Amino acid sequence: MAEQVRDIKRRIRSIKSTQQITKAMEMVAAAKLRRAQEKAIAARPYAREIQDMIQRLLPAIDTIHPLLTPRKEHRVCYVALTSDRGLCGGFNGQVSRYTQLLLAQHQENAVIIVGRKGRDYFRRRGYRLLAEFVAVGDEPTVAQTREIAQALLDLYNKNLIDEINLVYMEFVSAGKQRPAVAKLLPLEVQPASEESEHDLLLDYFFEPEPEAVLDMLLPRFIVGKIYSALLESKASEQAARMIAMGAASENALEMIDQLTLSFNKARQAAITKELSEIVGGADALRG
Amino acid sequence: MAEAQAGHRLFKMEIITPERVVLEEEVEGVVLSSPEGFFGILRGHAPFIGGLSIGVLKYRKDGKLHWIATDNGVFEMSENRLRILADAAERGEDINVLRAKEAYDRAKQRLGQRYEDLDHLRAELALKRSLARLKAASGGV
Q: pLDDT grade, residue A199 (50/70/90)?
A: low
* pLDDT exceeds cutoff 70 at B6: no
Closest Cα in chain B, distance from residue A148 (Å): 15
Report the pLDDT value the prediction gives residue B59, as an integer from 0 to 100: 96
Report the pLDDT value the prediction gives residue B85, as an integer from 0 to 100: 97
Query: For A221, which residue in chain B has the nearest alpha carbon?
Result: B18
Which residues of A are the active-site residues? 88
Pick the CATH number of B2-92 from 3.40.50.460, 2.130.10.10, 2.60.15.10, 3.30.1490.20: 2.60.15.10
Whether residues B51 and A213 touch (CB distance < 8 A) is answered with yes
Query: Which residues on A lie below 8 Å from B18 (Cβ)?
Result: 43, 46, 142, 145, 220, 223-224, 227
Query: Which residues on A lie below 8 Å from B49 (Cβ)?
Result: 53, 56-57, 204-207, 210, 213
Report the pLDDT value the prediction gives residue B110, as an integer from 0 to 100: 83
Percent with pLDDT over 70 in chain A: 95
Q: pLDDT grade, residue B1 (50/70/90)?
A: very low
Whether residues B17 and A46 touch (CB distance < 8 A) is answered with yes
Report the pLDDT value the prediction gives residue A166, as an integer from 0 to 100: 97
**Beta strands B29-34 and B21-27, pairing class:** unpaired
pLDDT digits (tens, 9 = 90+) for A57-96: 888 887 788 888 888 878 999 999 999 999 999 999 999 9
Q: Residues with Cβ < 8 Å from B64, sequence gap 6 or more? A: none
pLDDT digits (tens, 9 = 90+) for B70-121: 999 999 999 999 999 999 999 999 999 999 999 999 888 888 776 666 677 8
Q: Please give the Cα distance from A148 to A151 (Å, whole number).
A: 5
Q: Residues with Cβ < 8 Å from B18, sequence gap 6 or more? A: A43, A46, A142, A145, A220, A223, A224, A227, B87
pLDDT digits (tens, 9 = 90+) for A96-133: 999 999 999 999 999 999 999 999 999 999 999 999 99
Query: Which residues on B lie below 8 Å from A43 (Cβ)?
Result: 18-20
Domain ranges of chain A: 25-243
Helix (H) or strand (E) holding B59: strand B55-61
User: CB count, 10 Å around CB of B13?
Assistant: 26
Report the pLDDT value the prediction gives residue B113, as an integer from 0 to 100: 75
Please report, as a single letter, which amino acid is at residue A113.
I
CB B12 within 8 A of CB B35: no
Q: Is the ipTM beyond the 0.85 threshold?
A: yes
Mutate to test the interface with A, among B22, B49, B52, B71 (most CBs of A within 10 A): B49
Domain with CATH 1.20.5.440 in chain B: 96-137
Asked if the C-beta of B29 comes within 8 angstroms of chain A's C-beta atoms, the answer is no
Closest Cα in chain A, distance from residue B7 (Å): 24
Report the pLDDT value the prediction gives residue B2, as an integer from 0 to 100: 47
Whether residues A220 and B49 touch (CB distance < 8 A) is answered with no
Pick the CATH number of B96-137 from 2.170.120.12, 1.20.5.440, 3.90.1170.50, 1.10.10.10: 1.20.5.440
Asked if the C-beta of B138 comes within 8 angstroms of chain A's C-beta atoms, the answer is no
Query: Which residues on A lie below 8 Å from B47 (Cβ)?
Result: 199, 202-205
Q: DSSP string covering A45-68, please?
A: HHHHHHHHHHHHHGGG--SPPGGG
Asked if the C-beta of A61 comes within 8 angstroms of chain B's C-beta atoms, the answer is no
Please count the residues of chain A. 287
Report the pLDDT value the prediction gives residue B42, as an integer from 0 to 100: 95
CB A86 within 8 A of CB A244: no
pLDDT digits (tens, 9 = 90+) for A151-165: 999 999 999 999 999
Asked if the C-beta of A209 comes within 8 angstroms of chain B's C-beta atoms, the answer is no
Query: Which residues on B lie below 8 Å from A42 (Cβ)?
Result: 19-21
CB B43 within 8 A of CB B80: yes
Bridge partners of residue A111, in order along the sequence: A78, A129
Considering only CB atoms, B74 lies closest to which of A45, A205, A213, namely A213
CB A286 within 8 A of CB A59: no
CB A70 within 8 A of CB A103: no
Whether residues B85 and A46 touch (CB distance < 8 A) is answered with yes
B107-139 in b/e burial notation, b at 16+ Cβ within 10 A? beebeeeeeeeeeeeebeebbbbbbbbbbbbee
Asked if the C-beta of A39 comes within 8 angstroms of chain B's C-beta atoms, the answer is yes
Record the pTM.
Answer: 0.87
In chain A, beta strands by DSSP E: 76-81, 110-114, 129-133, 163-173, 176-185, 205-207
Number of inter-chain CB pairs under 8 A, A vs B: 84
Complete edge-to-edge strand list for the sheet that includes strand B37-41: B37-41, B29-34, B55-61, B64-70, B89-91
Query: Which residues on A lie below 8 Å from B85 (Cβ)?
Result: 46, 49-50, 53, 220
Domain with CATH 2.60.15.10 in chain B: 2-92
Report the pLDDT value the prediction gives residue B116, as an integer from 0 to 100: 61
CB B84 within 8 A of CB A49: no
Whether residues B19 and A206 touch (CB distance < 8 A) is answered with no
**Beta strands A163-173 and A76-81, pairing class:** parallel
pLDDT digits (tens, 9 = 90+) for A26-61: 999 999 999 999 999 999 999 999 999 998 888 888
- The CATH homologous superfamily to which domain A25-243 belongs is ATP synthase, F1 complex, gamma subunit (3.40.1380.10)
Q: Please give the Cα distance from B100 to B90 (Å, whole number).
A: 12
